[in-house]
Amino acid sequence: MTETDDRAEPTGDRSVVISIDAMGGDKGVAAVIGGMQKSAQKNDAIRFLVHGDEEQIGPLLKKRPALAARTEIRHTTRVIAMDEKPSRALRSGKESSMRGALDAVSAGEATVAVSCGNTGALMAMSMLALRKVPGVNRPAIAILWPSRNEAGYAIMLDVGADIRADAQDLMTYAVMGASYARNGFGIKRPRVGLLNVGTEDHKGRSELHEAAELIAGIADRSDFDYIGYVEGTDMPSGKVDIIVTDGFTGNVAIKTAEGTAKMISRMLRDAFQYSPLSRIGALFALTSLRRLQKRIDPRRVNGGVFLGLNGIVVKSHGGADATGVSAAIKLAFRLAQSGFSDKLAARVASGLAVISEDRPDEDPAAEPPDQTEGTGPKADEAP
Task: pLDDT band for 198, please (50, 70, 90 cuts).
Answer: confident
pLDDT digits (tens, 9 = 90+) for 126-156: 999 999 888 888 889 998 888 888 777 889 9
Domain boundaries, the chain: 16-257+293-381
Tell whether the model's pLDDT for residue 351 goes beyond 70: no
Q: Sign of torsion, CA 86 35 130 342?
A: negative
Q: What percent of the chain lies above the pLDDT cut of 90?
A: 39
Distance of CA 23 to the CA centre of its chain: 19
Has residue 223 got a pLDDT over 80? yes
pLDDT bucket at 113, cuts 50 / 70 / 90: very high
Provide the sign of the torsion angle of the four alpha carbons 343, 344, 349, 350, taken in this order. Answer: positive
Above 50 in pLDDT, residue 201?
yes
Class of domain 16-257+293-381 as given by CATH: alpha beta
Model pLDDT for residues 270-311, shown as the tens digit of each residue: 888 888 888 787 777 767 766 666 655 555 566 789 998 999
Separation between Cα atoms, residue 304 and residue 315, nearest integer Å: 5
- Compute the chain's Rg from CA coordinates: 21
Q: Is the pLDDT of residue 227 over 90?
A: yes
Q: Which pLDDT band, with edges at 50, 70 and 90, does 11 fall under?
A: very low
Nearest-angstrom CA–CA distance, 313 and 329: 11
* Stated pTM of the model: 0.79
Distance CA 218, CA 252 (A): 28
pLDDT tens for residues 13-69? 468 999 999 998 888 899 999 999 999 999 999 999 999 999 999 999 999 999 999
* Residue-wise pLDDT tens digits, 148-185: 887 778 899 988 888 888 999 999 999 999 988 888 78
Residue 344, phi then psi, degrees to nearest 5? -65, -45
